[in-house]
Amino acid sequence: MKRNLCSKYLISAVAILLFFSIFSSIVTSENFKSDIQSDKILITINEGKSGSSPIEVWVDDDYYDGGYNGGHTWGYDAFDNIQDGVDNVSDDGTVHVYEGIYDVFKIEGRYNIILEAVDDEVPLVVGSQQAWDSTASSTANCVVFVNNSDNVYLKGLNIQGSGLSGRSFAVYYTESTGTINDCTVSPNQKGNMNSLGIRAHLNSTLSVEDCTVLNYGRIAIYVRTGTTLNAVNNKLIGQIYTDADGDYVSYGIEVEDLQYASHATIRYNEIYNHDHTGNPTWSSAGIIVDTWRYYQVTPENCSAIIEYNDIHDNMLGVQIVPNENIHMNRNKIHHHSSHGAVSDPYWDGTTYVYYNLDAENNWWGDPTGPFHPTENPDGLGDEITDYVLFEPWIEHSDPIVNITTPENGFLYVNFRDIIVFKLPFFTNLILGKIEVEADAPDCLFGIDRVEFYVDDVLKTTDSTEPHSWMWDKLELLFFYTIKVVAYDNAGNSAVDDIGVWKFL
């Protein structure tokens, strides 16, 4: 009897242990979901593959359910469209996109999302979708929409509008931060005065780097309402309208306050083709800043650093309502059909007030500087208006260098600094030591260094003016080639050389 009772207890104990073992495995499994509602614990077991979202997903328009899909799992980290990739990747994650043709997509309420082309492939994103524009209290059309998100990075995409109309932007960032890198952006809306390539507003912070923006009706990059822009090394190709097109305008970059000041850093861009060949009411320009201040009193002023850009072949190079926080230096500004720089006044509510535009140290298309009818009437470069501070200007856009000593057709004699003279001679002859001198005037990016060579052997590098090198080594009577190479801070170079006979 006792043995049977012990057996029953033993069986009961084993059953209890088995139950808790199974329950524990269910609770700790990744398919378990626990929720507390109305002070009760609800236990459910999810069907299918779930758990945390993947940190990386892959998108290829050739992927399909049941396919190999590059070794990835369909519906988990493998998709055939970008939107599904974005929706399923975790924050701090990356969406890798292979070459193909993809529909529009939006990224909302996310952070630290990288969406990039795989290697050197160029995915095409094409189409149109609606997005809410709170500043206009209406909808707008766009291809890519980034809303209320932080650090959204787009790289290597070809973004093309198709079916856009009315207020339309190829890429639209609102209340967001991020970067657009190495992308082609084209809304394909020539003639639409509400068409923008890239628009960012409502306290957004956006970097646009190494992109080509084209086929926009009005503006390539437009920022307003407290937005910070960093535009670096882009190519912005505008429209040249005619009277047959209509009373249209075109701008490369526009920076405006409109409620809150915006801030821009604009460097190393090429901006051209914003013009109208007829008689338009409004002007076109490569860059315009704070121009709304001309028409109305605004609460804040924008700031802008405009440096090292090549701004050419527009109606106006720049049109700016200046203030103390706008600086435009070391740019190439040339070949504009009207003016290289326009400084407009602002309206203070009673009258127009002028402020000087800081435009020193720019290259205006000619060594004689910009043309101004009274301040520089001999200037052969682009014309400028009043209130543009253009002096000093840069005479050369690219580095140049000239060997000033020795000169062609002279005999140079220097015996221990006792007998020293220079005479015209039938050839270039140096007896004794000589200080080789080179002139490398300032250029757009500034001179970094000058290198001195003899027969292609580097002798010295000089980074300070005046640039020189003492050739005092004893030499056998022989023919030598002196060469100097000047480099600017962007890596551009210029060369000069001279052949001489030298002895001692």
Give residue 411's identity as a one-letter amino acid code: L
Closest alpha carbon to 159 in 173, 143, 141, 136: 143
Per residue in 439-488, pLDDT tens?
999 999 999 999 999 999 999 999 999 999 999 998 899 999 999 999 99
Note whether 56-389 and 402-503 share their fold: no
Per residue in 280-294, pLDDT tens?
999 999 999 999 899
- 328-354 mean pLDDT: 97
pTM of the model: 0.84
Q: Where do the domains of the chain lie?
A: 56-389, 402-503
Does a cis peptide bond (omega within 30 degrees of 0) precede residue 466? yes
Compute the C-alpha angle 260/262/267, nearest 5°: 175
User: How many Å apart are CA 292 and CA 224, to the nearest integer?
Assistant: 11
Report the 10 Å Cβ neighbour count for 208. 31
CATH homologous superfamily for the domain 402-503? Immunoglobulins (2.60.40.10)
Q: What is the pLDDT of residue 19?
A: 41
Task: Quote the radius of gyration of the chain (alpha carbons, Å).
Answer: 33
User: How many Å apart are CA 385 and CA 383, to the nearest integer?
Assistant: 7
Q: Contact at 8 Å (CB) between 142 and 106?
A: no
For 56-389, the fitting CATH number among 1.10.10, 2.30.30, 2.160.20, 3.40.50 is: 2.160.20
Per residue in 11-28, pLDDT tens?
444 344 444 444 444 444
Per residue in 226-245, pLDDT tens?
999 999 999 999 999 999 99
- Report the first-to-last Cα separation within the chain, whole angstroms: 125
> How is 351-377 classified by DSSP, letter by letter?
SEE---EE--S-B-SSTT--BBTTTBT
User: How many Å apart are CA 245 and CA 284, to the nearest integer?
Assistant: 14
